[in-house]
Structure 1
Amino acid sequence: MLAALLAAGAGASYGYRQARDVADPPPEACDVSYQTDEEATTSVDQEPGSDEYRDLTPEEERVIVHKGTEMPFTGEYDDHFEAGIYTCRRCGAMLYRSADKFRAGCGWPAFDDEIRGAVRRVPDADGMRTEIVCAHCGGHLGHVFLGERLTPKDTRHCVNSISMLFVPEGEARYGTAYFAGGCFWGVEYWLERAPGVLSVVSGYMQGHVDNPCYEEVCRQDTGHAESVKVLYDPVRTNFEALAKLFFEIHDPTQVNRQGPDVGHSYRSGVYTVDEDQARVAQSLVAQLRKMGLDVATEVEPAKTFWPAEDYHQDYYQRKGSQPYCHMRRPIDWPQTPQD
């Protein structure tokens, strides 16, 4: 099924794209089945095992496991505003950025936003309030309140300090991955929706010109590929899960093109930061070839990543639309010990 879909896409005839702001997708790009955003953002989440949890004190267990509440104005992070990341005390998943913390005067740490997908909302049994829990391990965090008009986002996550651990800026351990799969708008769109992904930046890499601009890359003589840089939470996901998703959102058999975009800058590539990533990427390519796909994806050590111009960042989010040349086609990956 996948091979047929990919072959159909590869057979379409397109020229070089002259304008990046295409109002309507070509019919061929839409005539396939694909997953919705919701399906895509739930399928690569990494389920934690209890052996991965941090040992809790009796008081931490009372709050995090048994949904208790610490006394107001007693938590270590109530009046704490150092730059950094707040993580789940039990599993270590990243939950909140210090930039989203504000003074609410309620006696508990308050945030008006969470790291995307890191916090899950659950109605209380009495229906009066909405509980918030760590989306990764289910640990109790506190409650969320709307409509108080305390910040422009009109949201207050009221969180127990004891449910979190703070990591100062510069000490947080992020995973980094680089992918190229045609127009970076679509690759960015899908990868930034994956659980555990903290940010995705569109840019250029693997070329021989420093700090290239879009017009230079479009001339196809700088050697760069339109690429994305992914920062992710290694507690919630891993490189293999993201690489699998990458192969599912583009056609890895197309050479120097992706759908309507033609040229060396639109090639497929995985650019690795260490030997482990290279091993995983090469293994996935080998698996696809065993499925009968003539994979053209290059696997190379990552060179310098140059961020693209601001107007390329979060393109589909700003436009309020979806990619027309990147759609997710799930692959039935063989089970491996890493799975």
Structure 2
Amino acid sequence: MGLSVVVAGGGSAGHIEPALAFADAIRRLRPDTEVTALGTERGLDTQLIPARGYKLELIPPVPLPRKPSGDLVRLPGRVRTAVNQVRRVLDQVHADVVVGFGGYVALPAYLGARGRVPVVVHEANARAGLANKVGARFAAAVATAVPGSGLPGEQVVGMPLRRSITGLDRAALRAQARAYFRLPPHGPVLLVFGGSQGARTLNTAIAAALPGLVHARIAVLHAYGKNGTPAPPAPGYVPLPYIDRMDLAYAAADAVLGRCGMTTVAEVTAVGLPGVYVPLPHGNGEQALNAEPVVAAGGGLLVPDAELTGDRTLAEVLPLLAHPGRLAAMGAAARASGHADADERLARVVLGVLGS
């Protein structure tokens, strides 16, 4: 009889993508596995999950307030409603295990599974979120992307990623990738991106640095975000609001300038690119922590958001892209610091919990 695995990673792409990469991996290892994804109508769940061929079961969203508010007062009732729906789904699909990836879908999933089926938690960030802190208390196994999450019994497996990224042959795709984006076929390319909505600091810094980059004959592929603003036109500068072929973007590039969410760090290291990482200036400081192992290994550089100006961009990027030997060494260090097989490592943790 096949396995029935329920994944809870809805909401943002940062939760959904590792959940789906894990789902792909466990089906490779155990083709008789049925995977059901829990999600809500609020996030990207209805767009991303069915498109990858997985069954989606919707539950009520349970946003987790960060500060005292009316939402905090209403939270217990919302959790109860969502937990009851989770339990109905678990019964319908005869679930063997729930694998959660944090966020507001994971909390009711963990609570609904407690005492019924085993729970496996995966924490993507250097500092665990509330949902995973709760789930880890009674989880059969806790897996993390990087060490030091603070969760009990963590096993570091890395960040599950799509095979189109972890199996990327950048050298073989380089010419095709540059033609796809209409980049110069020769010379260094800097890839710049800061999330789907863009990053004002990155956009402003690139606009200021662009004359110097053009003078050094460095091309720029710049995802400025749906709410962002591109730099003025310049030779070798390719601005896009969003890049839907990140595999080709990585293949076209020689280095990356971007934020350091865990998915970004994991992808950039998996493909062996040097990164100049600029952590978000707010939150709990987790973005800087995400990049620290890569920087310590020599695969990246860290620049505080407040310090990223046009001049600082040139000071970091020009010496890097001017020396192919340094690029190659940093790229190799980046790749060595990552976990390209994290999807299957997590799948084996789950199969171990099930004794399969």
**Normalised by the size of structure 2, how large is the TM-score?**
0.30
Q: Which has the higher helix share?
A: 2
Highest Rg: 1 or 2?
1
**Normalised by the size of structure 1, how large is the TM-score?**
0.31
Determine which structure has greater relative contact order: mean sequence separation of CA pairs < 8 Å that are 6+ residues apart, divided by chain length: 1
